[in-house]
Amino acid sequence: MALLNFKKRDAAPATAGLDVEAFLQGYSIEVMPRTAEKVEDFSAILPAGTRVYIAHIEGTPIEDMVATARRIAGEGYDVMPHFPARIIPDAATLADWIARYQGEAGVDQALLLAGGVKEPVGAFHSSMQLMETGLFDKAGFKRLHVAGHPEGNRDIDPDGSDWNVSEALQWKQKFSERTDAAMAIATQFAFEAQPVIAWVDRLAREGIALPVHIGIAGPAKLQTLIKFAIACGVGPSLKVLQRRAMDVTKLVLPYEPTDVVAALAAHKAANPAFGIEQVHFFPLGGIKTCAAWARDNGGAAAQPMRASA
């Protein structure tokens, strides 16, 4: 299958361009307080209605997180802050964070994850424990997303298997069936389509019906991407970057996710029931750069929110 080269649009089949455009509709993007500060006006770079995740890195004061959420929500965007279990000391703190986000920024959705620290600071070590508190339901949160790992996660499965990850997703599927909150799986980024396709198909076979919001690394310098990929535990698809690093003609050129997006878009177009529902961008090379790439490759106004999204 020929992949797109958007710099030479006449070289790509018209249907391929339409597939990518459809695939990018309603994409979401991730920011941190310090990266959000570099954006003067989100409405100048993001489509109206875009969901903006706010990553909570260990050591970031909750005041900074809430202020960022308030600012972005005030510009008209759906805000989804991270709640990393391992940096939340207790249920009282969790309740306080929920109340602050809700009261000061009108937040009613969250990404729940274990978090990247090895040792929990308190009682929580998994997103499932956060969900079991019932605090998000009590606060009336309408949307809860959970993390997914198409290429596994050695923090969760040190032996290289995906047994624990799979068991956790089964639990979350059952949780979704007994709650009113809309749920989805927001995944780690990958650089190759085939492992992602195989993983999503496997979820379907195992009865996990949560829609997948596939993580895609935005345009960035190759060295930057390799650093983040290793730190985040990206699996076999890391070889895509390693091969590129060995090609002197490509080493100095910024990476763009054109190939992986085009391949996933083509698969989705050919298989409409395929479990990927939206794209979630990690703007590792900058929010403005990522938003521009999405716009130039067909990402337009966000679609109306769907019940299963």
Q: 129-138 pLDDT, tens per residue?
A: 999 999 999 9
Distances (CA, A) of 291 to 22, 78, 79, 296: 16, 16, 16, 9
The ranges assigned to domains in the chain are: 22-296
Q: What is the DSSP letter of 306?
A: P
pLDDT along the chain (309 residues), means of 10: 37 67 96 96 94 96 98 97 97 98 97 89 95 96 95 59 79 94 93 94 96 95 76 64 59 82 97 97 95 90 41
Query: What is the DSSP pairing of strand 276-282 with strand 28-31?
Result: parallel
For residue 112, list its beta bridge partners. Answer: 83, 146
Q: Name the packing angle between helices 258-270 and 14-24 (round to 10°).
A: 90
Residue pair 192/236 in contact by the 8 Å Cβ criterion: yes
- Give the CATH number of domain 22-296; options: 3.20.20.220, 3.40.50.10490, 3.40.50.11540, 3.40.50.1820: 3.20.20.220
Q: Amino acid identity, residue 168?
A: A
CA gyration radius for the chain?
Answer: 19
The predicted-structure confidence for 216-255, as pLDDT tens digits, reads as follows 999 988 877 877 676 666 666 666 666 665 554 555 568 8
pTM for this predicted structure: 0.86
pLDDT at 254: 81
User: Checking phi first, is residue 140 left (phi over 0); if not, alpha (psi -120 to 50) or beta?
Assistant: left
Question: Residues 252, 258, 264, 266: what is their CA dihedral angle, to the nearest 10 degrees?
Answer: -140
Q: Amino acid identity, residue 308?
A: S
Phi, psi dihedrals of residue 165, rounded to the nearest 5°: -60, -45
Residue pair 194/264 in contact by the 8 Å Cβ criterion: no
Distances (CA, A) of 290 to 30, 139, 227: 10, 33, 18
pLDDT at 154: 56
Burial of 286 (0-12, 13-18, 19+ CB in 10 A): middle
Among 207, 203, 205, residue whose Cα is nearest residue 276:
203
Q: Amino acid identity, residue 213?
A: H
E strand or H helix at 15, and its extent? helix 14-24
Look at the block and give the residue holding tokens 């361009």. 17
Cα–Cα distance for residue pair 244/166, rounded to 1 Å:
31
Task: Tell how many helices (H) and how many strands (E) occur in the chain.
Answer: 13, 8
